Amino acid sequence: MAANWTIDGVREALAAKKISARELAADFYKRIGAKNPELNAFLALSPERARRQTDKIDALVAAGKPLPPLAGVPIAIKDVISTRGTKTTCGSKILENYFPPYDATAVERLEAAGAVILGKTNCDEFAMGSSNENSAYGPVKNPVAPDRVPGGSSGGSAAAVASGLAVAGLGTDTGGSIRQPGSFCGIPAMMGSYGRVSRYGLIAFASSLDRIGPLATNVKDVAAILKIIAGRDPHDSTSTTTPVPDYGAELGKPVKELRLGIPKEYFGEGMDAGVRKKVEAGIEVFKKQGCELIEIRMPHTDYAIATYYIIATAEASSNLARYDGVRYGLRVDGDSLISMYRKTRGAGFGPEVKRRIVLGTYVLSAGYYDAYYLKGQKVRALIAQDFRDAFLKVDAILTPTSPVPAFRLGERTADPLQMYLADIYTVTGSLAGVPGISVPCGKIEGKLPVGLQIFGPAFGEARVLKLAHAFEQAGGASV
Amino acid sequence: MKISREDVLRVAELAYLDLSEMELETYRAQIDEILEYIGKLNELDTANVEPMAQVLSDDQTADATLREDLVVPCAVAEDVLKHAPDPEPPYFRVPKVIER
């Protein structure tokens, strides 16, 4: 069976009865069984759920009925996204035995569109990390270089898709957690605008930043999945009523004469020479397509990491207050209610989560709120303004996704600040709320993938996807 | 030094988080370094900047109208209690909170 399935490929094979949805899912489970022990990309599988779905699809095929857009497409779901009846741990010991009583809206919409949910993918605990090494269930290995990290926090979804264990995956992005692992594993990966995809059922880390988005092997599939999961959901008051365009219909339209901003601040110190070379070559591809390249300034870029680690940790400290051992997850007994809370949280959370709860509680605490949290919110406004100013002059912005390619397992774990700085090019767009995609942009020494990031204005997903697709079609992945 | 051992203890108390001696010192040092880095925000004059407390702009409103207050079925109680750490349907049992 061909290893490189796409959404179109699955549909054609099903319609032509070359394979049944059940056989296809079984084939993927076989591959997962063979490869997952080494990769550690999946934490839980949902074969019964998959079987119910493939039976439905196969019945449609047998009856000669029209197939839904994602019919039979095997998909991997990051473990911070709720799946009814399938264990959802968030990569944390505190949710080791948590079975959500409902599905996330994104999951529900994927299944309604015919997709087959294979299982749940490993991630940094509560999506807090840039390497997947903060998972309580062990790190994921990068399929292109097993001694290296897959990126994080959606490392499991990225590794699963890149190694052919799923046709596509859902990840979540708070400061780069979809785009950076996409870049490290060599696949396209996208976060839509804040408000584009419902967060209902996404177990909260930082509510003003968290977004669900797709990872796939090609831009067309990213567009197809985003279209399915996007749109207003009454269960999430921050999901917008802004209409969802047919992203797929935009692909292939000319990108000629689009104005692309190259922000000087994203090409400064700390960038790996190999990454720089590939991203510069990637930018040339757009030039050859007839795009106009414009050097721009985004003066507050250098303050984004500091701002992000105030806002994200403050929101996390509040969101994670719910893990108290009363209603779900781990409980460690204590001789009073308070001591039960303290012991449960002390035993259930891993080091990075505790560090962020302490930092987040500190920046919100009396006497420090103005100096840190309020200051962070003000600088966040300046960073968002940088983007609005830029989009008066350009149609999209090109940057590297990460300053470095996939690093070695263990290389950065001792120093949290160094780990945070790996997100330097992705957190800006997270703070501003704009959409961004990482597309493969060559490999360093033919081995380690580099990602090119494309930012668009809020709700400009169609343009971002059109550019990413044009880049991919022009051979951007092998510059 | 930006953050003291006492600060960490106070914050851990607020967050109901038990920390070991080793955790306390490790996190204190790491958070101190992070706060030192965060200090660079003071280079910016933000006296006249409105804080960004909301991501969506006015023309991207989610849905300005409130939904109707309707009763909808939500039959998950049994399922939720089944996986609770110490269920006593229809309740969650917790250590005694009222002293006689």
Residues of B with CB below 8 A from A234's CB? 63, 67
| Residue bearing the bigger pLDDT, B97 or B10 | B10
d(CA A232, CA A105): 10
- Does B64 score more than 60 pLDDT? no
| DSSP per-residue codes, A280-309 | HHHHHHHHHTTPEEEEE--TTGGGHHHHHH
Number of domains in chain B: 1
Active site residue A78: yes
Candidate from B17, B60, B67 with C-beta closest to A234: B67
Cα distance between the two ends of chain A: 29
The residues facing A444 across adjacent strands are A448
**Separation of CA A282 from chain center:** 22
Residues of B with CB below 8 A from A364's CB? none
Residues of B with CB below 8 A from A354's CB? 17, 19, 23, 27
Tell me if B36 is assigned to some domain: yes
Domain A7-247 sits in which CATH superfamily? Amidase signature (AS) domain (3.90.1300.10)
Sign of CA dihedral A102, A104, A110, A116: negative
User: What b/e sequence results for A361-390 when a residue is b if at least 16 CB atoms lie within 10 Å of its CB, and e otherwise?
Assistant: bbbbbeebeebbbbbbbbbbbbbbbbbeeb
* SS3 state at A151: coil
The range of the structural domain enclosing residue B28 comes to: 1-45
Active site residue A339: no
Tell me if B97 is assigned to some domain: no
Provide the shortest C-alpha distance from residue B70 to chain A (in Å).
Answer: 13
The residue of B34, B61, B66, B70 whose CB has the most chain A CBs within 10 angstroms, and thus the best one to mutate to test that interface, is: B34
- Does B1 score more than 90 pLDDT? no
Tokens 């703070």 — which residue? A431
Cβ contact, residue pair A337, B94, below 8 Å:
yes
Tell me if B84 is assigned to some domain: no
Are A444 and A405 in contact by the 8 Å Cβ rule? The answer is yes
Task: Tell me the domain boundaries of chain A.
Answer: 7-247
**Number of CB pairs, chain A paired with chain B, less than 8 A apart:** 174
**CATH number for B37:** 1.10.20.60
Tokens 């997952």 — which residue? A36
Active site residue A177: yes
Q: Could you tell me the mean pLDDT of each successive run of 10 residues in chain A, 479 residues long?
A: 82 97 98 98 98 98 97 98 97 96 97 98 98 98 97 98 98 98 98 97 98 98 98 92 95 96 94 97 98 98 98 98 97 95 98 98 96 98 98 98 97 91 96 98 96 97 98 97
Are A22 and A71 in contact by the 8 Å Cβ rule? The answer is no
Tell me if B58 is assigned to some domain: no
d(CA A268, CA A253): 33
d(CA A296, CA A299): 9
d(CA A364, CA A200): 26
Q: Residue B83 CB: number of other CB atoms within 10 A? A: 16
Tell me if B12 is assigned to some domain: yes
Tell me if B98 is assigned to some domain: no
Strands A116-121 and A74-78: parallel
Sign of CA dihedral A271, A124, A387, A477: positive
What does the DSSP 8-state code read for residue B90? T
d(CA B21, CA A64): 66
Strands A74-78 and A168-173: parallel
Are B86 and A324 in contact by the 8 Å Cβ rule? The answer is no
Chain B residue whose CA is closest to A335: B95
Tokens 């939500």 — which residue? B74
Alpha helices in A63-113 (DSSP H): 105-112
The overall pTM is greater than 0.95: yes
Q: Prior bond to A153 cis, omega within 30?
A: yes
Cβ contact, residue pair A459, B60, below 8 Å:
yes
Predicted pLDDT at A425: 98
Q: Does A329 touch chain B (CB under 8 A)?
A: yes
Tell me if B14 is assigned to some domain: yes
| Residue bearing the bigger pLDDT, B62 or A340 | A340
Predicted pLDDT at A2: 45
Residues of A with CB below 8 A from B29's CB? none
